[in-house]
Amino acid sequence: MPKGHINRALGVQRNKLLRYKLIKELYQKSIQEHPYTPLTQILQNYICPVYPISRTTLYEVLTTPVTSELKRIEEAINAQTKLFN
C-alpha cells in the first residue's frame, strides 16, 4: 500500500476522533447546564445546530474512548513519519 494512502486513512480517523472530542465536550457542557434535560432534547437543541448528527451517531460518539484512540492514532502517525523520513 502506498504511504500516502496509509497516512490519509490515519488522518481521516484522527480528524473524526477530534470531532468526536468536540461533540463530547459540547454534550458534557450541555448536561452540566441542563442536568434533567433528555438526551434527545440535548441533541436537538445544543448539538445539532453545531454538529448535525443523528441520535445513533451521538451514541457512537459517547461510547468511543476518544483519548485512548487518539493516542493510538498519533503513535501510528509518528511511527510512519519516522519510517518514511
**pLDDT beyond 70 at 4:** no
Q: Tens digit of pLDDT for each residue in 8-49?
A: 889 999 999 999 999 999 999 999 999 999 999 999 999 999
Asked whether the beta carbons of 80 and 11 are under 8 A apart, the reply is: no
Distance CA 41, CA 47 (A): 9
Q: So what's the pLDDT on residue 56?
A: 97
The string of DSSP codes covering 9-75 is: HHHHHHHHHHHHHHHHHHHHHHHHHSTTS-HHHHIIIIITTTS---HHHHHHHHHS-HHHHHHHHHH
The pTM score is 0.85
**pLDDT beyond 70 at 3:** no
**pLDDT beyond 90 at 73:** yes
